[in-house]
Amino acid sequence: MQSIMAMTNVPWDLIGFRVMGDVGGFTIYTDRFFRKIVYQKAPPKEPASPEQRLLRDRFGNAVRAWKSLSDVDKASLERAVKKTSLCLTGQNLYTSCSLRHAEGVYATIARQTGEILPPLAVLP
């Protein structure tokens, strides 16, 4: 598939355009140099394997658990990542620790920041 080069030269973030993912037949992402890369969407050639389906379901369950948190819990996660200068969001912290069963890491962040963090999702 051919990349649409003209689209990568526009400073989309500066004009408030922060699109990513699949949009209108195109896949859009930000590269390591903070440029938007756009290419035609390429659907998979084969259905997901059972292992891929299992991993996707686990990730989906972690995201749904985060979405079910209260605004107060989400705010405490955002404060915790800001206080520790982590290069991620509260959602990233919560889903990553849930997926990896990283209760120790999560407890350390809570202790270091003085934040009361919501319980991690229990994922198989």
DSSP state of 16: T
Structure tokens at 36: 């938007």
Q: Provide the pLDDT for residue 6.
A: 45
pLDDT digits 0-9 by tens, 10-50: 565 566 666 678 878 888 888 888 788 888 888 888 999 99
**Residue count of the chain:** 124
pLDDT digits 0-9 by tens, 65-124: 999 999 999 999 999 999 999 989 999 999 999 999 999 999 999 999 999 999 999 998
Q: Is the pLDDT of residue 8 over 70?
A: no
Torsion, Cα of 54, 97, 20, 56 (10° steps): 0
Strand partners, 38: 28
Query: Left (φ > 0), alpha (ψ -120 to 50) or beta: where does 33 sit?
Result: alpha
- In angstroms, rounded to a whole number, what is the distance separating the alpha carbons of residues 21 and 38? 10
Structure tokens at 16: 């408030």
Token pair 């408030």 is found at 16
Q: Provide the pLDDT for residue 10.
A: 59
